[in-house]
């Protein structure tokens, strides 16, 4: 992660796998410099330095395997570390990439759960720059993958969903979930389309506030066909900004390990502090990767997405989960 708190985690999706190679966390330090030899005005420029790195075996040693019931009611049995390794659902490839997958070998009864994996960082972060380089991601009918972060006592500590969607959608959705008091400022400059403006969850409404990407290579099959890409977000007092870069348009400063968000242009999503006190609504976030199936979102939208049969029937057949995986190159 990069900081102010900054982080880079590398992910790659291949055939039902979630793989992550390198994860970095950077710290930012302001540098003051004079605008002129006789000037008393100081300009401040943030620089980002590496703080944490997650790579290969570190995902077993520095991340926790969630092994309880899915809070979103998905048709999954999340596996602990030992079971995930023994069942081939989590492992390190020869090239050092960490892989996590949904079971694609065993039939389960209709209405039963399929083995899957959800991992969360042992370290928590408050603010920073986070960069995820993904080569591929899981998608398809019943599939609900996500790269996100969440604070304590949900929704009080907030939730930031950077990459999330269901079924065969072609564009990504960027969402915040908060306690009362946060909305989207409709006057911000962002390339995404504003959806729901109310970030607070309550009662039976957990929609949150979100932007929808306008690029059809930001999710699912089109994302994978384009060779994946980078999702980067800054989380600071003035707001949360998220960018998506296709593989052929990743800024050179990201590739070189010297990220400079000030040069990336308008973000695709911008949740401004003008209408949300970022400091009081977002803190102590753990980083999370998961693949769930059906559940509150994918289950509720299964038929309208044009998927065949029922979501429970889909989950029963392992053939439906071949070739749907995360391939992560890095998260900073």
Catalytic residues: 159, 164
Residues 171/53/120/95 CA torsion (nearest 10 deg): 70
In sequence order, the β-bridge partners of residue 295 are none
**Residue 271, helix vs strand vs coil:** strand
Cα 87–91–96 angle (5° rounding)? Answer: 165
The answer to whether 237 and 279 are in contact (CB under 8 A) is yes
Q: How far apart are CA 238 and CA 259, in angstroms?
A: 19
Residue whose token pair is 């800054």: 234
φ, ψ of residue 5 to 5 degrees: the values are -135, 120
* Distance, CA of 99 to chain centre: 16
CB neighbourhood size of 297 (10 A): 21
For tokens 């069942």, the residue is: 87
Element (H, E) at 296: helix 295-298
Work out the number of other CB atoms within 10 angstroms of the CB of residue 264: 16
Give the three-state DSSP class for 243. strand
Beta partners for residue 198, in sequence order: 183
By the 10 Å C-beta count (0-12 exposed, 13-18 middle, 19+ buried), 44 is classed as: exposed
- For residues 165 and 145, what is the distance between their CA atoms, to the nearest angstrom? 7
């Amino acid at each position: 992660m990069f900081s102010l708190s900054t982080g880079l985690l590398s992910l790659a999706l291949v055939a039902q796998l979630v793989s992550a190679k390198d994860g970095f966390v950077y710290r930012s330090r302001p540098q003051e410099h004079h605008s002129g030899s006789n000037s008393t005005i100081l300009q401040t420029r943030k620089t980002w330095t590496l703080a944490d790195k997650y790579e290969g075996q570190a995902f077993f040693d520095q991340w926790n395997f969630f092994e309880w019931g899915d809070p979103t009611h998905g048709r999954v049995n999340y596996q602990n570390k030992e079971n995930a390794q023994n069942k081939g659902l989590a492992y390190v490839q020869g090239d050092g990439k960490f892989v996590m997958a949904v079971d694609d070998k065993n039939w389960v009864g209709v209405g039963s759960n399929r083995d899957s994996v959800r991992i969360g960082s042992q370290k928590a972060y408050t603010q920073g720059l986070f960069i995820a380089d993904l080569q591929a991601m899981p998608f398809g009918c019943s599939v609900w993958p996500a790269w996100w972060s969440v604070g304590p006592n949900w929704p009080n500590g907030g939730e930031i969903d950077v990459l999330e969607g269901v079924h065969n959608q072609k564009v990504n959705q960027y969402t915040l979930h908060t306690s009362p008091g946060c909305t989207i400022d409709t006057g911000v400059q962002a390339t995404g389309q504003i959806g729901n403006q109310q970030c607070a969850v309550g009662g039976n409404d957990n929609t949150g506030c979100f932007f929808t990407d306008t690029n059809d290579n930001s999710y699912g099959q089109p994302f994978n066909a384009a060779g994946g890409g980078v999702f980067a977000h800054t989380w600071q007092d003035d707001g949360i900004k998220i960018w998506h870069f296709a593989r052929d348009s990743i800024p050179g400063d990201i590739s070189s390990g010297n990220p400079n968000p000030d040069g990336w242009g308008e973000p695709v999503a911008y949740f401004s502090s003008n209408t949300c006190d970022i400091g009081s609504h977002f803190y102590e976030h753990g980083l999370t990767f998961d693949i769930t199936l059906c559940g509150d979102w994918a289950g509720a939208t299964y038929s309208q997405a044009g998927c065949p049969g029922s979501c429970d029937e889909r989950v029963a057949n392992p053939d439906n989960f071949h070739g749907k995986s995360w391939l992560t190159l890095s998260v900073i």
